[in-house]
Amino acid sequence: MEQRADQPVIARVFGSVDLLTAPALRTCVNDHVGSPAGLVLDMTGVNFLAASGLTVLADADRRARQDNLAWGLVASTRPVLRPLEVLGLDEALPTYESVPDAVAAVRAAALTG
């Protein structure tokens, strides 16, 4: 977890996001998606993304839209992109190829929010 003044919280996720680990991801998202500067989930270290992890991401997006919160998802690797693409979530979620791209977009959204 990384946070600097006037910058979104950057949560770096590693390993498998599955039935056992998705609750920890949900807790992280719930704790930080409401941050005034926004949240960036860096999923570049994820090597497996199960349905339970996809549910956490979809729920985060639903909450962010409902509460007008800024967040972004860094998804640039096949283990994350493929499940998102199969379900059409790559187009629905605020997905970026790099952390700098996501931070810039989330900062802009938080400022205009």
pTM (2 decimals)?
0.91
Tell me whether residue 47 is in a domain. Answer: yes
In a domain, 15, yes or no: yes
- Does 3 reside within a domain? no
Mean pLDDT, the chain, rounded, equals 92
Q: Is residue 77 part of a domain?
A: yes
Q: How confident is the model at residue 5, as a pLDDT? A: 63
For residues 22-35, average pLDDT? 93
- Asked if 49 and 17 touch (Cβ cutoff 8 Å), the reply is yes
For residue 80, what is the domain's CATH number? 3.30.750.24
Give the per-residue pLDDT at 3. Answer: 61
pLDDT given for residue 110 in this prediction? 85
Range of the domain at 15: 9-107
Q: Which long-range contacts (CB under 8 A, 24 or more apart) does 106-111 make?
A: 106/8, 106/37, 106/38, 106/39, 106/40, 106/70, 106/71, 106/72, 107/6, 107/7, 107/8, 107/37, 107/38, 107/70, 109/38, 109/70, 110/8, 110/36, 110/37, 110/38, 110/70
Per the domain annotation, does 4 fall within a domain? Answer: no
Domain presence at residue 98 = yes
Number of domains in the chain: 1
Per-residue pLDDT tens over the stretch 61-95: 999 999 999 999 999 999 999 999 999 999 999 99
